[in-house]
Amino acid sequence: MTDSSNTPKATGPAKSATRRQFIRTAGATAAVAGTGAIAAPAIKAQEPIRWRFQTYAGPALGAEVTKPIIDHFNKAANGEMEIELYYADQLVPTSELFRALQRGTIDGVHSDDDSMSAPTDVRVFGGYFPLATKHILDVPVLFQQYGLAEIWKEAYDEVDVAWLSAAGQDPCHFITKKPINSLADMDGLRLYTFPTAGQFLAKFGVIPVSIPYEDAEVAVQTGELDGMAWCGATEAYAVGWADVTDHFLTNNISGAWIGSFYANKKSLADLPDHLRELLMASIEAGHQYRNQWYWGGEARLRASGDKLKLTSIPQSEWREVEKEADKFWNEMEERSERSAKLVKIFREYNATLAKAGTPYSFE
């Protein structure tokens, strides 16, 4: 057994040095620990930016026309930002979308100008401006090659909302319980439709009805509505309207819906540059998806869909609708200098299509 009394003991300067070394080491350790504790909040993951975004479309349609864009953005944003998507009327009624966007109640919107009651003179040209387009690709061409993008941006800058981008969707057809084979068959029909389209169709006896989007199907079942002048075959089948109606009129009052994406100006300005670029890239990717979804859907469902029987009004009689559309355009161009400019562009573009012939024109 070792006698501890014989073990040398540290005394004097050596002992003091050992204590000083311990103090220095312990102090350094504490300092490091302290520094780590203070620095922890600085390295904590930043909360993602959050946007609230509402579309004009209900859940079934929104899954095709808006959700792919939001999903693409949220995945690519890699946790830096998250957009929460709401469908028609979930946060505010569709007719109040503009005001909610302007106030910042919501950060982004997908809609047409007409449905969201935008207080601009381009409003009547959004949605379905009667007989202004023939195909879905007419819309991006008009915006990118004929100057509509600059006109829309200017109009929304004046009302303090950021216009981002526009694209086409489906044509506007009559989807009804009773068949339509002549203009006389339109008289008295109660139809769910867009404000400007309804104003035009009233010239033929149509009674436009304004109700929430999600109520339209039940309204047909109860007899409150006779049908819709809202979309083409693709939407009618996708959202269930083809299940409660029986006939599809092949003549359309517009060849493509003009819809846009908008943002609250402050919300958009607060985004870092790379997230703004990502948002625009996601929107453009969504445009491409909708082009094929609608274009292919219209052809397939008109050719082989088994829920809606196709009817047509003879072209000789339909020319009366075309004449009324020309008068309607004259009325709209008198509203403002910008409206006159837009009508001039639509006239020039349609003259180009007519001169180009098939497949650009139906003539």
- pLDDT the model gives residue 27: 45
Nearest alpha carbon to residue 234 among 313, 311, 175: 175
- Residue 275: Cβ within 10 Å count: 18
- Which tokens in the block code for residue 174? 């009559």
- pLDDT the model gives residue 319: 96
DSSP for residue 121: T
- pLDDT the model gives residue 8: 39
- pLDDT the model gives residue 46: 81
Nearest alpha carbon to residue 182 among 302, 323, 310, 312: 312
- pLDDT the model gives residue 328: 97
pTM of the predicted structure, to 2 decimals: 0.85
- pLDDT the model gives residue 221: 97
Nearest alpha carbon to residue 104 among 261, 260, 276, 263: 263
Question: What are phi and psi for residue 262, nearest 5 degrees?
Answer: -135, 160
CATH architecture of 49-169+256-304: 3-Layer(aba) Sandwich (3.40)
Q: Are 245 and 175 in contact (CB under 8 A)?
A: yes
- pLDDT the model gives residue 363: 61
What whole-number distance in Å separates Cα of residue 318 and Cα of residue 249? Answer: 12
Q: Are 51 and 83 in contact (CB under 8 A)?
A: yes
- pLDDT the model gives residue 38: 47
Q: Are 140 and 287 in contact (CB under 8 A)?
A: yes
Q: Write the DSSP assignment of 191-250 as a string of letters.
A: EEE-HHHHHHHGGGT-EEE---GGGHHHHHHHTS-SEEEEE-HHHHHHHTGGGT--EEEE
The CA-atom distances, in angstroms, between 33 and each of 20, 257, 346 are: 20, 63, 71
- Which tokens in the block code for residue 213? 């989007």
- pLDDT the model gives residue 32: 41
Reported for 269-275, long-range contacts at CB under 8 A and 24+ positions apart, including other chains, are 270/49, 271/49, 271/81, 272/80, 275/49, 275/77, 275/80, 275/81
The CA-atom distances, in angstroms, between 25 and each of 21, 30, 83 are: 6, 9, 50
318-358 residue pLDDT tens: 999 999 999 999 999 999 999 999 999 999 999 999 999 98
- pLDDT the model gives residue 45: 61
Q: How many helices and strands in the chain, by DSSP H and E?
A: 13, 11
Angle of CA points 216, 222, 225, to nearest 5°:
50
- pLDDT the model gives residue 34: 44
Write out residues in the chain with pLDDT < 50, as ranges.
1-44
> How far does Cα 133 stand from its chain's mean position?
19
- pLDDT the model gives residue 340: 98
